[in-house]
Structure 1
Amino acid sequence: MVLFGLIILFVALVALQRLVYSRFWSRHLTVDLIFSAKTGAEGGSIKLTEVITSRKALPLPWLTVKFQVSRHLVFSDKLHATITDDYYREDLFSLGMYQRISRTLPVIMKKRGYYTIKSIDLVSSDLLLTRKLVDHARSHSVLTVCPRLIPREDFAVPYSQIMGEILARTALLPDPFEFRGIREYQGFDTLRSINWLATARSGSLKVNVHEYTASRDVIVLLNVEPDGAFFEEELLEEGIRIAATLCDSLIHEGVSCGLISNARDIITGETIDIATGQSGQHIQQIQEQLGRLDLTRKPEPFAPMLMQRGFSSYRDPVLLMVSINCSDDICRSWSDCLSRVHAGLWILPRYADRHDRLPDTEHPTLCWEVKRRAR
Structure 2
Amino acid sequence: MLGIHWFIIVTVIVLYIQRKVYIKYGLHNIEYERYFSDETAFVGDEIHMVECISNKKLLPVPWLRLESRIDPGLKFQSQEDLDIKYGEYHKSFFSMGSYKKITRRHRIKCAKRGFYSLNSAVITCGDVLGMEETCKDIELSANLLVYPEIIRVEEIPFPVHNWLGEIAVRRWIVEDPFMISGVRDYNCGDPLNQINWNATARSGEIMVHKLEHTSSPSLMIYLNVDDSENVLGYVVNRDIIEKGITYAASIAHYALSKGIETGFGSNGYTVEHPKQVVRVAPGVGSEQLKLLLEVMARMVVAQSKAFSTFVEEDIFSGVTNRDYLFITCHVDEDIMSKIARLKSMGNSVEIIRLSPESSRDKDVDSYGKQVV
After TM superposition, the score normalised by the length of structure 2 is: 0.77
Structure-1 residue corresponding to 2:299: 293
**1:81 touches 1:89 (CA, 8 Å); kept in 2?**
yes
**1:320 touches 1:345 (CA, 8 Å); kept in 2?**
yes
- Matches for 1:74-223 after TM superposition, within 5 Å: 74-77=75-78, 80-84=82-86, 86-117=87-118, 119-155=120-156, 158-171=159-172, 214-223=215-224
Q: Work out the CA distance in 2 between the residues paired with 1:213 and 1:336.
A: 21
Q: Work out the CA distance in 2 between the residues paired with 1:104 and 1:171.
A: 53
Q: Work out the CA distance in 2 between the residues paired with 1:364 and 1:160.
A: 20
Q: Work out the CA distance in 2 between the residues paired with 1:257 and 1:101.
A: 47
Please tell me the residue identity of whatever aligns with 2:149.
Answer: R
**2:65 touches 2:94 (CA, 8 Å); kept in 1?**
yes
Please tell me the residue identity of whatever aligns with 2:294.
Answer: E
**1:146 touches 1:290 (CA, 8 Å); kept in 2?**
yes
Please tell me the residue identity of whatever aligns with 2:257.
Answer: H
The CA deviation at 1:82 is 3.8
1:308 to 300, 309, 313: 313
Structure-1 residue corresponding to 2:242: 237
2:282 to 276, 281, 285: 276
Please tell me the residue identity of whatever aligns with 1:292.
Answer: R
The CA deviation at 1:17 is 2.3
Matched residue of 1:138: which SS?
strand
The CA deviation at 1:231 is 2.3
The CA deviation at 1:159 is 1.4
2:270 paired with 1:265: yes
Structure-2 residue corresponding to 1:228: 229
Matched residue of 1:140: which SS?
strand
Matched residue of 2:272: which SS?
coil
Q: Work out the CA distance in 1 between the residues paired with 2:92 and 2:47.
A: 19
Please tell me the residue identity of whatever aligns with 1:344.
Answer: V
The CA deviation at 1:139 is 2.1
Computed over aligned residues only, the root mean square deviation of the Cα atoms, in angstroms, reads 3.1
Q: CA 1:355 to 1:292, structure 2 compared with 1: closer, same or farther past 3 Å?
A: closer
Q: Work out the CA distance in 1 between the residues paired with 2:363 and 2:320.
A: 30
**1:53 touches 1:101 (CA, 8 Å); kept in 2?**
yes
**1:344 touches 1:364 (CA, 8 Å); kept in 2?**
yes
2:332 paired with 1:331: no
Structure-2 residue corresponding to 1:29: 30
After superposition, the C-alpha distances for 1:281-320 in whole angstroms (9 at most, x for unaligned) are 221111011011111x333111012112258687832212
- Matches for 1:33-72 after TM superposition, within 5 Å: 33-72=34-73
Q: Work out the CA distance in 2 between the residues paired with 1:10 and 1:172.
A: 94
Q: Work out the CA distance in 2 between the residues paired with 1:354 and 1:253.
A: 25
Q: Work out the CA distance in 2 between the residues paired with 1:353 and 1:221.
A: 16
2:324 paired with 1:319: yes
After TM superposition, the score normalised by the length of structure 1 is: 0.76
Q: CA 1:309 to 1:170, structure 2 compared with 1: closer, same or farther past 3 Å?
A: closer
**1:62 touches 1:125 (CA, 8 Å); kept in 2?**
yes
Q: CA 1:83 to 1:130, structure 2 compared with 1: closer, same or farther past 3 Å?
A: closer
After superposition, the C-alpha distances for 1:315-363 in whole angstroms (9 at most, x for unaligned) are 832212211121221111122122223322122222349788955x662
The CA deviation at 1:98 is 1.4
138-147 vs 224-233, which deviates more?
224-233
**1:223 touches 1:262 (CA, 8 Å); kept in 2?**
yes
Q: CA 1:74 to 1:172, structure 2 compared with 1: closer, same or farther past 3 Å?
A: farther
Contiguous gaps of at least 5 residues in structure 1: 174-211, 366-375
The CA deviation at 1:56 is 1.5
Q: Work out the CA distance in 1 between the residues paired with 2:223 and 2:143.
A: 25
Q: Work out the CA distance in 1 between the residues paired with 2:83 and 2:14.
A: 37
The CA deviation at 1:224 is 0.9
Please tell me the residue identity of whatever aligns with 1:331.
Answer: M
After superposition, the C-alpha distances for 1:36-75 in whole angstroms (9 at most, x for unaligned) are 1121111111111111112122211111222221112111
After superposition, the C-alpha distances for 1:22-46 in whole angstroms (9 at most, x for unaligned) are 1121122122221111211111111
**2:158 touches 2:352 (CA, 8 Å); kept in 1?**
no
Q: How many residues align?
A: 324
Structure-2 residue corresponding to 1:206: none
> Larger Rg: 1 or 2?
2
Please tell me the residue identity of whatever aligns with 1:262.
Answer: N
2:268 paired with 1:254: no
After superposition, the C-alpha distances for 1:120-164 in whole angstroms (9 at most, x for unaligned) are 232322234432233332322121211101125425972123224
Q: CA 1:260 to 1:311, structure 2 compared with 1: closer, same or farther past 3 Å?
A: farther
Q: Could you tell me the percent identity over the aligned residues?
A: 23
The CA deviation at 1:90 is 2.2
Q: Work out the CA distance in 2 between the residues paired with 1:172 and 1:58.
A: 79
Contiguous gaps of at least 5 residues in structure 2: 175-212
